[in-house]
């Protein structure tokens, strides 16, 4: 008789181990966000609440009289329009300057990129006061720029203490934000799309306008928002290059809060400036969203 066959036991089924998600628990996330939340509350929310309270203070209690003064005084409305106009012109000029520079950084020779990036980042490494004083020397009546204009018979053009000089200072101070945004966006564009357009007979301008520019709208929107908001809230540049002749809403806020000691009016002007900034950024975000959806 043959020996009975031995039965081998079936292997035990091993349950697959479920991997936990990479993210931490909600409690851990809240703990990580706690330092930033404290800084945000103390550095932004609390001052904003105090400014709002000061703007509503009156002799008999809370009132909106300061906002009525701002809305009913033509000088303040002129200041608001001038501030928006200077910021808009500075933003447009920054975009015009930054597009060729961004294309040169991304598409140009590699050996020139460090030099071009230094041109972009150097204004960010220098104090606004130092840059503005430098422009005040260059644009003054005895400076080289004004001397050149005088030699060319254009002495009637004055740059110091004029809106033109203020715009020059604003562009030089804040154009790096526009340039860096465009460099990041253009660097992410697939180069083959531009080469395909060139192979179909498009010239450099057509390639830029029909291929590069539409794909760089995200960077243009971010750079425009940063440049516009910072130009609109600038204090040192209009104060020094304007010399008191080119006042903006920010310089008036500074004067009312320091020399005038009129905190309610200064706070009301600050609230109006903040509201205008929020409205303009909302309109810009809506417009960019509509354009990108097409």
E strand or H helix that includes residue 191:
helix 191-199
Nearest-CA neighbor of 256 among 238, 239, 268, 243? 268
Compute the Cα dihedral for 52, 177, 83, 290 and give only its sign.
negative
pLDDT digits (tens, 9 = 90+) for 198-254: 888 888 888 888 888 888 888 999 999 999 999 999 999 999 998 888 889 999 999
Nearest-CA neighbor of 263 among 46, 41, 50, 45? 50
C-alpha triplet 137, 142, 143: angle, nearest 5°? 45
Interatomic CA distance for residues 218 and 275, integer angstroms:
24
Dig out the tokens for 135 from the structure: 């422009």
pLDDT digits (tens, 9 = 90+) for 184-197: 999 888 888 888 88
Alpha helices in 208-248 (DSSP H): 213-215, 217-232, 236-242
Classify 25 as helix, strand or coil: coil
How confident is residue 1, by pLDDT bands cut at 50, 70 and 90? very low
pTM listed for this prediction: 0.82
Nearest-CA neighbor of 177 among 251, 97, 240, 277? 97
**Tokens 């001397």 found at:** 147
CATH for 45-293 (3.40.50.10320, 3.40.710.10, 1.10.3720.10, 3.40.190.10): 1.10.3720.10
pLDDT of residue 111: 87
């Amino acid at each position: 008789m043959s020996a009975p066959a031995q039965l081998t036991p079936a292997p035990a089924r091993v349950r697959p181990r479920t991997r936990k998600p990479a993210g931490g628990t909600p409690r851990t996330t809240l703990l990580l966000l706690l330092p930033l939340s404290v800084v945000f509350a103390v550095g932004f929310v609390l001052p904003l609440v105090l400014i709002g309270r000061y703007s509503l203070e009156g002799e008999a209690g809370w009132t909106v009289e300061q906002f009525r003064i701002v809305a009913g005084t033509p000088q303040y409305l002129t200041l608001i329009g001038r501030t928006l106009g200077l910021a808009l012109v500075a933003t447009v000029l920054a975009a015009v300057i930054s597009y060729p520079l961004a294309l040169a950084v991304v598409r140009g020779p590699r050996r020139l990129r460090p030099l071009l990036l230094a041109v972009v980042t150097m204004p960010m490494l220098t104090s606004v006061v130092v840059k503005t004083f430098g422009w005040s020397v260059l644009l003054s009546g005895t400076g080289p720029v004004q001397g050149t204009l005088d030699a060319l018979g254009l002495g009637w053009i004055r740059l110091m203490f004029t809106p033109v000089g203020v715009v020059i200072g604003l562009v030089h101070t804040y154009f790096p934000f526009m340039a860096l945004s465009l460099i990041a966006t253009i660097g992410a564009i697939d180069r083959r799309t531009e080469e395909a357009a060139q192979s179909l007979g498009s010239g450099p301008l057509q390639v830029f306008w029909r291929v590069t520019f539409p794909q760089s709208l995200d960077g243009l929107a971010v750079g425009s928002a940063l440049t516009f908001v910072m130009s609109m809230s600038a204090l040192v540049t209009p104060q020094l290059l304007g010399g008191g002749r080119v006042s903006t809403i920010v310089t008036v806020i500074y004067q009312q809060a320091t020399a005038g000691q009129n905190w309610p009016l200064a706070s009301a002007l600050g609230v109006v400036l903040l509201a205008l900034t929020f409205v303009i950024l909302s309109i810009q975000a809506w417009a960019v969203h509509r354009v990108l959806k097409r």
